Amino acid sequence: MRKAYLVTVTLFALAFSLASASDPAPLQDFCVALKDYSDKSADNRLFTKTLNKGDVFVFPVGLIHFQVNVGKTNAIAISGLSSQNAGAITIANAVFGSNPPINPDVLTKAFQLDKKVVKYLQKEF
């Protein structure tokens, strides 16, 4: 009886000692060297494309993006997210509403705003 109890406890201990975890964005864990860096967006370039009916535009992972309807009729956009941790981050909330707050001097230089405007925006978020 004692042997069966010991085997059962041991099996439960082994079963519950295994951990299962996943990384929501495994690409962030790897640093990949590139031979040709000219086509990558490290220089804050603006990529634009006017979409016609049936066109597709793919946003690279981590690239901040926005859409504007330049037409005179309503537009429909269908988005697909390629992560187990799918979601959206509002840039204004992430920048001006961060906790702890980003130094206003940094935001003043980055957005070329008056320091009073940056402090006002940080209070609003």
Enumerate the known binding-site residues for Mn(2+).
Answer: 65
Between CA 68 and CA 77, with CA 73 as vertex, the angle to 5 degrees is 50
Name the 3-class secondary structure at 118. Answer: helix
- Bind-site residues: 65
Distances (CA, A) of 97 to 9, 13, 44, 114, 115: 50, 44, 23, 17, 16
